[in-house]
Each structure stands twice: as structure tokens, then as C-alpha cells.
Amino acid sequence: MSSEVLTIRVNSKLKSRLDQLGKILHRSKSYIAEQAISQYVDENAWQIAELTQAEEEIRQGKFVAGNEVNQYLDSWETPNKQKTPKV
């Protein structure tokens, strides 16, 4: 995979920590920064996709109302435990 140059500004403390980590891991600052950015982007993309899917399910009415969930949870460990709410 080809790579491109990305210039960013970081505070001196973060740069120093990045330098130290690079020395310990025998990796370049660029490598460590790329790994960190990649992980950040992957995690945020996953969260956005999940939220988008949840919003679509809400629009389609595919959810259980909060009060139904609360009633169900309140019924736990009582003689009148309710059935699990269904979508």
C-alpha cells in the first residue's frame, strides 16, 4: 500500500512521549502515529455505523420503549417476573 505525507502539529510533551515510545519499540514516530490514527479512525467509524443503524431501526419502529424495559428490569427477582420485551 502506498503512503502519503501528513503533517500535524502536536504539543511538545506529546512529541517527547512519542519519541520515547518509538525508541522503546524500535519504531519510527510516523509508524506509531499511523497506528494510533488508524485505530482511532476504525473505532470511530464503527461507532458511527452502529449509531446510524440504531437511528434507522428507531425510524422503522424497531425498538422497545424505555418504560417497558424499566418495568421488565424492575420485575426481576420478584414473583411476577415479566417476559422479555419484544421488538
In the chain the first and final C-alpha atoms are separated, in Å, by: 44
Tens digits of residue pLDDT in 37-63:
999 999 999 999 999 999 999 999 999
Dig out the grid coordinates for 48 from the structure. Answer: 458511527
Alpha-helical segments (H) within the chain: 12-25, 29-59, 66-74
Task: For residues 22-46, give the mean pLDDT.
Answer: 97
User: pTM for the full model?
Assistant: 0.66
Give the pLDDT band of residue 1 (cuts 50, 70, 90).
Answer: confident
Task: For residues 62-79, give the mean pLDDT.
Answer: 95
